[in-house]
């Protein structure tokens, strides 16, 4: 299995995780809804996701696969190292694939400035930022009753997709949840991802809309 390790939250490593998330999510329907203007989309997406990376590094769980992870002598391990090497970045900071998890019921602390709301307002204006913020509250409204482990973000850098890195991260989190005796919950706003999650054992619970004009979010559950 591909080598998965926790994030060492140095500034360089946090920046690498942010870059991987931004590259993987730049064409996600939810991010295109939040930041619809192509000129600002890449910059805004990276800045917005960066706030979450910092918060998860402090109060959540960040798993990653990178070229420095110690790997077993398997074909998967070779694929990890060769795929990450193609990224052409420093092996110590290249995050080929990342997963951001919530494994308890506590809330994340967004300590950096600007705030999530302030960043949305800076890019969108106050009125549109308020609409988007209200729409995003639907995620909290549709979560199942705890306990469960919550996979909030899963990303594989575009150059490294198709090598089983995302599947390795999901399996690692599923093993952690099973050891804790709980299920795994996530939402996906990209319907192209549904077959992948289905192949990882997730079942659809339903979907909801991000109002007033956003995409559907699909609710998925895995039970050990």
Q: Round to whole Å and give the CA distance between 65 and 99.
A: 9
The residue among 80 and 94 whose pLDDT is bigger is 94
Highest mean predicted confidence (pLDDT) among 11-25, 66-80, 106-120: 11-25
Query: CB–CB of 28/190 below 8 Å?
Result: yes
Work out the pLDDT band at 37, boundaries 50, 70, 90: confident
- Over its C-alpha atoms, the chain yields an Rg (Å, rounded) of 17
Work out the pLDDT band at 62, boundaries 50, 70, 90: very high
Domain positions in the chain: 5-222
Q: What is the mean pLDDT of residues 26-45?
A: 87
Phi, psi of 73 (to 5 degrees): -80, 75
CATH superfamily name and code, 5-222: Gcn5-related N-acetyltransferase (GNAT) (3.40.630.30)
Strand partners, 131: none
Work out the pLDDT band at 66, boundaries 50, 70, 90: confident
């Amino acid at each position: 299995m591909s080598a998965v390790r926790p994030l060492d939250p140095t500034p360089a490593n946090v920046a690498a995780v942010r870059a991987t998330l931004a590259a993987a999510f730049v064409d996600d329907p939810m991010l295109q809804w939040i930041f619809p203007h192509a000129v600002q989309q890449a910059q805004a997406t990276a800045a917005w996701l960066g706030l979450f990376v910092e918060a998860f590094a402090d109060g959540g769980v960040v798993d990653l696969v990178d070229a420095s992870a110690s790997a077993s002598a398997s074909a998967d391990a070779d694929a990890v190292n060769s795929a990450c090497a193609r990224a052409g970045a420093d092996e110590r900071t290249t995050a080929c694939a990342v997963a951001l998890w919530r494994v308890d019921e506590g809330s994340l602390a967004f300590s950096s400035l600007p705030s999530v709301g302030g960043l949305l307002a800076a890019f969108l204006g106050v009125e549109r930022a308020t609409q988007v913020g209200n729409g995003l509250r639907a995620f909290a409204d549709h979560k199942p009753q705890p306990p469960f482990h919550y996979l909030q973000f899963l990303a594989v850098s575009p150059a490294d997709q198709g090598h089983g890195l995302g599947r390795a991260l999901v399996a690692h989190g599923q093993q952690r949840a099973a050891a804790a005796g709980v299920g795994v919950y996530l939402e996906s706003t990209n319907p192209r991802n549904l077959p992948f999650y289905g192949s990882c054992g997730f079942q659809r619970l339903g979907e909801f809309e991000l109002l007033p004009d956003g995409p559907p979010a699909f609710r998925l559950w895995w039970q050990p």
